[in-house]
């Protein structure tokens, strides 16, 4: 397992290009199952999870090639509606093939995703919604076996604005008979990007980005050309990298519009940001102060930026609080930050962060994608050397991380172990 070795306390300066969004590309790639013609996708990041999704598409009988752009072709009679456990367990988002397979083939055998480091991650809201549309499910040896005739449009109200659940139901509803209304739908920009892609293929979706999405089912979807949106969480991570190292970065290909809550909190801390034509300029500004953060569904503060802002808050004046309301176990970065000198106390879903003057480099263990990112951020600011172990977590979601950071002055290298 590789590790990253970081010599910290170096201000990052320069320009970085934000890659395409992992969390938009994953559902869009699986939505290709619905299209009867070839799909050509631009700005898909080169990540482990993308490679896993392409492997899943091939296992399902689709053609999937990545040379710069990605071309996916899913011919109906070649499709095999089975997503095996040994693949699903490596990437929970595989469950997003359920809706497309049921809509296109009327059958799906998908391993029930287990839990993961950050929580139990059930998919009950996905299944309940699909049942409302006429699907039936059995659980056999850990596999969800779904069957349906043609799915029927339904009025669905989510108990929680689930991102994956909204995406699965959007894809299913696109080919269903009649109208589907999704209430309390997720409003994340990645959901909007998926809906815009489906409409480019001929779907009839309205209301994406709001809590009520209406879908008029159609008989077929065609291939299309489409560009994946920039990765707002990668962008947010690099905003923090500039500030935590007391540097100055210009992030290209990113918009603050999708990061309003993060930008608001960073400015509240004393960070200076300015949006340009095609990017964002960011630097520390005045001395940083601790603030109160509560993660919420979009447009609230994103849970995927919680670990990163905690690393920054750990070096601010005074103290701040962080409440994690989305996942039940998303504080595993805390004890690793404490190993680097952070003063953080966790009680249930709440963390109190008391700022310290400096982190001291140390060997630390990555546990999930965004926790790993927060340890890298702390290492970039720390005095001395930090080793971040088990960085396969990072490779799932950050394209060319060490190359991008080195390009703006970080002293960071990957060491194979």
Q: Footprint of ligand EPZ on this chain (CB under 6 A)?
A: 23, 26, 93, 119, 121-126, 160, 162-165, 186, 190, 303-304, 326-327, 369-370, 397
Task: Give the shortest CB-190-to-ligand EPZ separation in angstroms.
Answer: 6
Task: Give the shortest CB-368-to-ligand EPZ separation in angstroms.
Answer: 7
76 or 122: CB nearest ligand EPZ: 122
Yes or no: say if 170 and 205 are a contact pair by the CB < 8 Å rule: yes
CA–CA dist 206, 408 (Å, integer): 41
324 or 402: CB nearest ligand EPZ: 324
Which string of DSSP letters, residue by residue, matches 245-257? TT-EEEEES--GG
Q: Which burial class, exposed, middle or buried, applies to 236 when counting CB atoms under 10 A from its CB (0-12, 13-18, 19+)?
A: buried
Yes or no: say if 319 and 353 are a contact pair by the CB < 8 Å rule: yes
Query: Two tokens at 286?
Result: 């005045």
Task: Give the shortest CB-70-to-ligand EPZ separation in angstroms.
Answer: 17
Task: Give the shortest CB-310-to-ligand EPZ separation in angstroms.
Answer: 14
Query: Two tokens at 289?
Result: 């102060």
Query: Can the peptide bond before residue 299 be classed as cis, meaning omega within 30 degrees of 0?
Result: yes
Task: Give the shortest CB-124-to-ligand EPZ separation in angstroms.
Answer: 5
Task: Give the shortest CB-185-to-ligand EPZ separation in angstroms.
Answer: 11
- Residues annotated as catalytic are 116
Query: Two tokens at 161?
Result: 């604005």
DSSP state for residue 268 in the 8-state scheme: H
When CB distances to ligand EPZ are compared, the closest residue is 164
46 or 413: CB nearest ligand EPZ: 46
Which string of DSSP letters, residue by residue, matches 38-85? -EEEES----HHHHHHHHHHHHTT-EEEEESEEEEE--GGG---EE-H
281 or 346: CB nearest ligand EPZ: 346
CA–CA dist 125, 239 (Å, integer): 34
Yes or no: say if 70 and 224 are a contact pair by the CB < 8 Å rule: no
Query: Can the peptide bond before residue 347 be classed as cis, meaning omega within 30 degrees of 0?
Result: no
Q: How many Cα atoms sit within 13 Å of 242 on the Cβ side?
A: 23
């Amino acid at each position: 397992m590789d590790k990253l070795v970081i010599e910290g306390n170096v201000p990052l300066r320069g320009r970085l290009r934000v890659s395409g969004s992992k969390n938009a590309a994953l559902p869009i790639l699986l939505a290709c199952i619905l299209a009867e013609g070839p799909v050509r996708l631009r700005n898909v990041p080169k990540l482990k999870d993308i490679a896993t999704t392409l492997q899943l598409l091939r296992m399902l009988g689709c053609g999937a090639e990545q040379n710069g752009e990605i071309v996916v072709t899913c011919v109906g009679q070649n499709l095999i509606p089975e997503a095996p456990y040994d693949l699903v367990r490596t990437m929970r988002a595989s469950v997003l093939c359920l809706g497309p397979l049921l809509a296109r083939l009327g059958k799906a055998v998908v391993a029930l995703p287990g839990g993961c480091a950050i929580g139990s991650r059930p998919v009950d809201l996905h299944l309940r919604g699909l049942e409302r549309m006429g699907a039936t499910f059995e659980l056999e040896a850990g596999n969800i076996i779904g069957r349906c005739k043609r799915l029927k449009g339904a009025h669905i109200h989510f108990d929680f604005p689930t991102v994956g659940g909204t995406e699965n139901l959007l894809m299913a509803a696109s080919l269903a008979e009649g109208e589907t209304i999704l209430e309390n739908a997720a409003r994340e920009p990645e959901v909007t990007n998926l809906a815009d892609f489906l409409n480019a293929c001929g779907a009839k979706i309205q209301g994406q980005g709001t809590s009520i999405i209406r879908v008029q089912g159609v008989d077929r979807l065609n291939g299309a050309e489409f560009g994946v949106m920039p990765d707002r969480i990668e962008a947010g991570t690099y905003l923090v990298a500039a500030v935590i190292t007391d540097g100055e970065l210009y992030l290209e290909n990113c918009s603050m519009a999708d990061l309003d809550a993060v930008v608001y909190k960073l400015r509240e801390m004393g960070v200076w940001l300015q949006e340009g034509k095609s990017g964002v300029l960011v630097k520390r500004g005045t001395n940083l102060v601790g603030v109160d953060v509560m993660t919420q569904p979009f447009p609230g503060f994103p849970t995927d930026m919680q670990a990163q802002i905690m690393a920054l808050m750990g070096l601010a004046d005074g103290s701040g609080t962080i409440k994690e309301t989305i996942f039940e176990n998303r504080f595993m970065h805390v004890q690793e930050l404490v190993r680097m000198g952070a003063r953080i106390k966790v009680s249930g879903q709440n963390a109190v962060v008391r700022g310290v003057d400096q982190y001291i480099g140390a060997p630390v263990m990555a546990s999930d994608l965004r926790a790993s990112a927060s340890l890298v951020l702390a290492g970039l600011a720390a005095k001395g050397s930090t080793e971040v172990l088990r960085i396969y977590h990072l490779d799932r979601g950050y394209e060319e991380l060490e190359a991008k950071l080195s390009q703006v002055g970080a002293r960071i290298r990957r060491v194979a172990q």
